């Protein structure tokens, strides 16, 4: 786990994510599934899946667990 945090905590500036993407990052960090996020936001599960894929690509991450870890690091920086 420490290796993951070291890799994620590069000291880089916060990436430019849309408001919706930040919202999805926060919900992933709370442990919500794509379907639960879709239900909460009133959108289709496929829409959430596309957002998650874009977030992973933009942040250079490999899975939802890394999004959650990255979100934790971001909250510690603010």
**From first to last of its 78 residues, what are the pLDDT tens digits of the chain?**
555 556 555 555 556 799 999 999 999 999 999 999 999 999 999 999 999 999 999 988 999 999 999 998 888 766
Per-residue confidence (pLDDT) for residue 60, from 0 to 100: 87
Give the list of residues 6+ apart from residue 44 with CB closer than 8 angstroms, or none.
38
Residue 16: the pLDDT is: 79
Which pLDDT score is estimated for 40?
97
Number of domains within the chain: 1
- Looking at residue 9, its pLDDT comes to 58
Task: Please say whether the beta carbons of 48 and 38 come within 8 A.
Answer: yes
Which pLDDT belongs to residue 35?
98
Asked if 29 contacts 71 with a C-beta cutoff of 8 angstroms, the reply is: yes
Nearest to 7 by CA among 71, 76, 63, 66: 66
**Domain holding 10: CATH number?**
1.10.10.10
**Full residue range of the structural domain in which residue 65 is found:** 2-77
32 contacts 40 by C-beta, under 8 angstroms: yes
Residue 34 has a CB neighbour count (10 Å cut-off) of: 20
């Amino acid at each position: 786990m420490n290796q993951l945090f070291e890799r994620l905590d590069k000291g880089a500036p916060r990436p430019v994510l849309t408001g919706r993407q930040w919202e999805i990052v926060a919900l992933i960090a709370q442990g919500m599934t794509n379907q639960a996020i879709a239900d909460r936001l009133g959108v289709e599960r496929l829409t959430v899946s596309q957002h998650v894929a874009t977030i992973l690509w933009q942040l250079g991450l490999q899975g939802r667990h890394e999004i959650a870890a990255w979100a934790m690091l971001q909250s510690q920086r603010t």
